[in-house]
Amino acid sequence: MSAVIEPQPAAEPLGTGPLDLEAAYRQSQVAEVLEGLERDLIGLLPVKSRIRDIAALLLIDKLRSTLGLGAGAPALHMSFTGNPGTGKTTVALRMAEILHRLGYVRKGHLVAVTRDDLVGQYIGHTAPKTREVLKRAMGGVLFIDEAYYLYRPENERDYGQEAIEILLQVMENQREDLVVIFAGYKQRMDTFFHSNPGLSSRVAHHIDFPDYSCDELLAIAHLMLEQMHYQLSPAADGALREYIELRRAQPHFANARSIRNALDRARLRQASRLFERRGKPISRDELVTIEAADIRASRVFAEERAHGH
Amino acid sequence: MRITQGTFSFLPELSDEQIRRQIEYSLEQGWAVSIEYTDDPHPRNTYWEMFGMPMFDIRDAAGILGELASCRKTFPYHYIKVNAFDATRGRESLRLSFLVNRPPREPGFALVRQEGAGRALRYTTRAYADDRPEGERYSGP
């Protein structure tokens, strides 16, 4: 049996002299995550600065606690609000990483759930279901997407309330075991927190994700294409810019997610365009290039033309 | 008479911290941890009741310790053990199993003699606790 009980190596004792913040920063390896955040996520300036603030606070807190200046475990539960496709889930993943590197969660995994995973179908079904999810999330981050669905004021016998109560209890009593992140549209989340004051007061950080500007969306598109090993021809670049401007004005625009979908459809058209002329040899350039025509064939342009006439 | 069963059975009782680290180790190995209880102390009693569901997909010991706490609350005077199951093909069995809870008073076993044909004697043991029905066998100190 290799399950040996051995004592944890003791933490490096720190003197009372000046502390090396830089060393602690480097040691925590949190810089990597923050740089990755800066590099891979376009725009989102307020979000990034809030995350840097939180990381700084946690780092300082850690340093203080090595001197015995503990201020109690900081409240880390958060709420991410913003329109669809603004990067809430992506940032939550990074947040889990940061918290893990700073030692505020032990495992650093993210468990993403929605109402269906927490709330049961009949009486007595909700509590075990919620506990099951909480058990899985222990040591990591629990990400509740579209959290406002948990609370349905129009039905006072809704089981969502029960799930909220269990969540509250764990959020309060097992703060060192898990961090809960609530996510959803700004307005509906505001109502949700307004009608659940107990929840609102336990969520320390409210971070709002702004919509992307046209330029940011274009930069995101380039980043996505780069990751998928595609490139835009110069004409396609202009077409994509026009596309984004038109698409933004239309309903159901989901920021980066809409861009991803548009690119996926452009890939589809590029593939069938290349397939049409099979028989002739295809160069590597042709395989990676998306032409203006692939983008201009979109429904968005068709609608625009229809409106124009 | 102190019952010894499973791993670590000749060590003093594990503290909660030690239990946590054993569970942590099991999870690191990818084993599924479960909790079982019984109040039949006989060594041949291999069929214990499982408390709740077997816990797959758990990443951290905190989730299992929570379940253990609620098991101890429900059955404070039962034997409770933690099992770690290895689902690897060809192995599919427990890799680790240890007691984490026992009754405060364990009366032990009686030796039972049975007369057989031609002055033969057959021996067996019987737990004193078995005199009472299941669920009433052990009580507080």
Please tell me which of the candidates A1, A3, A109 has its beta carbon nearest to residue B59: A109
Residue from B17, B55, B60 to probe the interface with A (highest A Cβ count within 10 Å): B60
Helix axes A45-66, A21-28, angle to 10 degrees: 110
The span from the CA of A99 to the CA of A27, in Å, is 14
What is the C-alpha to C-alpha distance for residues A225 and B62, in angstroms, rounded to an integer?
A: 41
A106 and chain B: CB distance < 8 Å anywhere? Answer: yes
d(CA B82, CA B102): 12
pLDDT of residue A65: 81
Structure token pair of residue A143: 């990400």
Nearest by CB to B7, which of A1, A131, A139?
A1
Instruction: Name the β-bridge partners of A206.
Output: A79
Q: How confident is the model at residue A16, as a pLDDT?
A: 54
By the CB < 8 Å criterion, does B76 face chain A?
A: no
3-state SS track over chain A: CCCCCCCCCCCCCCCCCCCCHHHHHHHHCHHHHHHHHHHHCCCCHHHHHHHHHHHHHHHHHHHHHHCCCCCCCCCCCEEEEECCCCCHHHHHHHHHHHHHHCCCCCCCCEEEECHHHHCCCCCCCHHHHHHHHHHHHCCCEEEECCHHHHCCCCCCCCCHHHHHHHHHHHHHHCCCCCEEEEEECHHHHHHHHHHCHHHHHHCCEEEEECCCCHHHHHHHHHHHHHHCCCEECHHHHHHHHHHHHHHHHCCCCCHHHHHHHHHHHHHHHHHHHHHHCCCCCCCHHHHHEECHHHHHCCHHHHHHHHHHC
Give CA–CA dist A82/A79, Å, rounded. Answer: 10
Q: Are B48 and B37 in contact (CB under 8 A)?
A: yes
How would you write the pLDDT of chain A (309 residues) with one tens digit per residue?
Answer: 334 444 444 444 444 556 677 777 777 777 888 888 888 888 888 888 888 888 888 888 888 888 887 776 678 899 999 988 888 988 999 889 888 888 888 888 999 999 999 999 888 899 999 999 999 999 999 999 999 998 888 887 888 889 999 999 999 888 888 899 999 999 999 999 988 888 888 888 899 998 888 888 998 899 889 888 998 898 998 899 989 888 888 888 888 889 999 999 999 999 999 888 888 888 888 888 888 888 888 888 877 777 765
Give the per-residue pLDDT at B109.
Answer: 93
Higher pLDDT, A66 or B27: B27
CA A133: distance to chain centroid?
19
**Mean pLDDT across chain B:** 92
Q: Which residues contact A42 (CB under 8 A, 6 or more apart)?
A: A212, A216, A219, A220, A223
pLDDT for position B96? 94
| Whole-structure pTM value | 0.80
Across the A:B interface, residue pairs with CB atoms under 8 Å apart total 48
Pairing of strands A205-209, B32-38: unpaired
Partnered with residue A289 across adjacent β-strands are: A231
pLDDT at residue A12, as a whole number: 46
3-state secondary structure of B53: coil
Long-range (24+ apart) CB contacts under 8 A made by A242-246 are: A242/A301, A243/A295, A243/A298, A243/A300, A243/A301, A244/A214, A244/A217, A244/A218, A245/A214, A246/A300, A246/A301, A246/A304
Beta bridge partners of A111: A142
Mutation target among A138, A173, A177 for the B interface, most CBs of B within 10 A: A138
* Per-residue tokens: B111: 């030796």
Q: Estimate to the nearest angstrom the gap between the alpha carbon of A185 and the chain centroid.
A: 13
**Interface membership of A117 toward B (CB under 8 Å):** no
- Give the pLDDT score at B53: 84
pLDDT per residue over B84-135, tens digit each? Answer: 999 999 999 999 999 999 999 999 999 999 999 998 999 999 999 988 999 8
Residue of chain A minimizing CA distance to B53 = A132
Helices (H) and strands (E) in chain B, counts: 2, 6
ipTM above 0.85, yes or no: no
